[in-house]
Structure 1
Amino acid sequence: MIAFTLLVAAATAAGALLGMDRHVVDLSTDLVLAVVVVLALSATRSWRGIGFRPLDRWLDLRLYWVLAFPLLPVLPAALAGLTTVGVGRLAYYVLLAVLVGFAEEVVFRGLVLRSLLPVGIWPAAVVSSAAFGLLHLVNVLAGAALAPTLLQVVYATAVGFGYAAVTLRTGVLWPVVVIHVLVDLAAFATTGTERTDVTGVDVAVTAVYAVGFVGYGVVVLRRLDAAARQSRDTVTTGSARGRGDLVAPSSAVSVRPSAGPDRSPRRTGAPGPGRP
């Protein structure tokens, strides 16, 4: 995570100092990061382990609808924007969105989130999402305005928490990569890759999305945490019975997960415009 952030910051700062075009710097940096990620996953044969595998249950796709919700309000404008830009700019938007979505999700919802799991799912989700949000501060090094960048940090942190919670629940990474790419592409098509001002509406919309994503993440993690405790209690009960220990009658009752969206526990922004 530190190396990732330092590389992005160094490339962004160098591009700004040399007077390079921001689009060239962004695309070049994200291309290098994506190539490094691909080579690392291939060398360690970690594609499946990091979350590029089928869902255990395709019904779990319903868990992702909240994460994709930001697409709905801007979809008409995004489609209109994508059909009016030139071929070169369209190719740039698509390639940048794919590179950013892939590299950032592998690093933050894959590597960072997994590495923090030994300390618990809550710290892992909080720290990885906070790191993801703070990464966007490097945009200031490239000359981005501070106000929209800070708003982006808040939004990306909240989105990252929601992404982390659902990834922990399913153990699969590719759906959030797809959502990240589509959200970024829609943002690029409607507002471009840079913003210079913030309106009251921007603040209000960001606040609503932040509350929604964090709230959804809390719900998913609480149910995942409760299911994990129930599973541990069941194992403890079975072990006690195997030893012939006295077990309270009530503990013999099997506990069924709730009918909510996360019945079978498992594990694993947009990110606003600019550097999602």
Structure 2
Amino acid sequence: MKSFFYKHSLILFLVVLVGRGILGMLAIGGIQYFNPDLTIEKDLGWVVMLIYATCTILAVKWVKIDKEIGLTLPASAKDWYAWLPVLVIPMSLTFVLGFNSTWGHLPFLLIAAVGVAINEEILFRGILLRAILPFGRAVAIIVPSLLFGAAHLGNIFVGGDITYALFQFAWVFFGGMALTAMTIANKSLLPAIAFHFILDAIEYAAVGAYGVHSEGFSLPILTMFLLLNVAFFFYSIIILKREGTNDEKANFADPIIIHR
């Protein structure tokens, strides 16, 4: 079984995607059985994200592809420095949105942010990328990012704001392509996980969410965030091309991506 999933990353992706969802629903259902007043969007989102992250980590550890998908430190400190300009995105959110949560909620916000970052990066920039990259970098950058964006539309069905979800699909698509390109250039998932955590932690602190947004932002803020992610995408392509120029013989299959 382990060798089967090792050779078929796409099936592993689907199994983890569905399996973590089932476990999350069972856990939330059990909690709500004892306290029906608790909701996912306002109270239990952090629990869902923690379950999701645990499932993805255990899956890649069990199949032993954690190092292949980039759960190792980048080879050089310059791979971290390349992310510094991108911090303008969370800095902009901090300036515009501020901090609108209570200090008592902060630990749960951070747990949710860590869970989302680990879960989504391992799933989409790790397992799924490992399955699709053999078909070419362009396909590997675009296809997982489309699925990444579509996955966020599910927030609508658990109480999320519809307008926010549609904008989120757009910026997650561009942001997903940017994260994929940067991950390919870094040959490591860790910088992407760190950036994803910072971004989500600031966003959650601004709205008091636990991983699911029940309230929408204003149209100017949504547009600003979309444009920032579009700029992030173009920046990531520059970094990826520069990385290819510096080492034309390098192949991302070393160490991340060998098997389909």
- TM-score in terms of structure 1 length: 0.72
2: CA distance, partners of 1:156 / 1:12? 24
CA contact (8 A) 1:67 1:163 kept: no
The aligned residue for residue 7 of structure 2 is none
Superposition pairs of residues 46-125 of structure 1, within 5 angstroms: 46-75=65-94, 81=99, 85-87=102-104, 89-125=105-141
Is 1:42 the counterpart of 2:42 in the alignment?
no
Percent identity for Structure 1 against Structure 2: 20
CA contact (8 A) 1:162 1:214 kept: yes
The aligned residue for residue 50 of structure 2 is 31
Q: How many equivalent pairs are there? A: 232
1: CA distance, partners of 2:121 / 2:46? 17
CA contact (8 A) 1:77 1:190 kept: no
The aligned residue for residue 162 of structure 2 is 146
CA shift for structure 1 position 26: 2.1
CA shift for structure 1 position 265: 6.6
* Deviation larger for 90-99 or 56-65: 56-65
| Cα 1:180–1:207 shift into 2, 3 Å | closer
The aligned residue for residue 180 of structure 2 is 164
1:61 is matched by which residue type in structure 2? Answer: W
1: CA distance, partners of 2:103 / 2:44? 20
1:2 is matched by which residue type in structure 2? Answer: L
CA contact (8 A) 1:133 1:152 kept: yes
Give CA deviations for 1:23-53 in whole Å, capped at 9, x if unaligned: 4442232222222222223223333222122
1: CA distance, partners of 2:145 / 2:182? 12
CA contact (8 A) 1:154 1:210 kept: no
- Residue 68 of structure 2 aligns to a residue whose secondary structure is helix
1:141 is matched by which residue type in structure 2? Answer: F
CA contact (8 A) 2:145 2:174 kept: yes
The aligned residue for residue 21 of structure 1 is 39
2:14 is matched by which residue type in structure 1? Answer: I
CA contact (8 A) 1:31 1:99 kept: yes
Give CA deviations for 1:88-143 in whole Å, capped at 9, x if unaligned: x1111011111111111111111111210110011001111111111101101102
CA shift for structure 1 position 173: 0.6
Structure 2: which 5+ runs fail to align?
A: 1-12
CA contact (8 A) 1:148 1:195 kept: no
2:143 is matched by which residue type in structure 1? Answer: V
The one of 200, 216, 238 aligned to 1:219: 238
The aligned residue for residue 10 of structure 2 is none
Q: Rg bigger for which structure?
A: 1
CA contact (8 A) 1:224 1:265 kept: no
1: CA distance, partners of 2:168 / 2:243? 28
Cα RMSD after superposing both structures: 3.0
CA contact (8 A) 1:129 1:161 kept: yes
The aligned residue for residue 8 of structure 2 is none
Higher relative contact order (CA 8 A, sep 6+): 2
The aligned residue for residue 196 of structure 1 is 215
1: CA distance, partners of 2:55 / 2:223? 37
1: CA distance, partners of 2:202 / 2:72? 26
CA shift for structure 1 position 218: 3.0
Is 1:133 the counterpart of 2:138 in the alignment?
no
- TM-score in terms of structure 2 length: 0.76
1: CA distance, partners of 2:151 / 2:204? 19
1: CA distance, partners of 2:233 / 2:87? 14
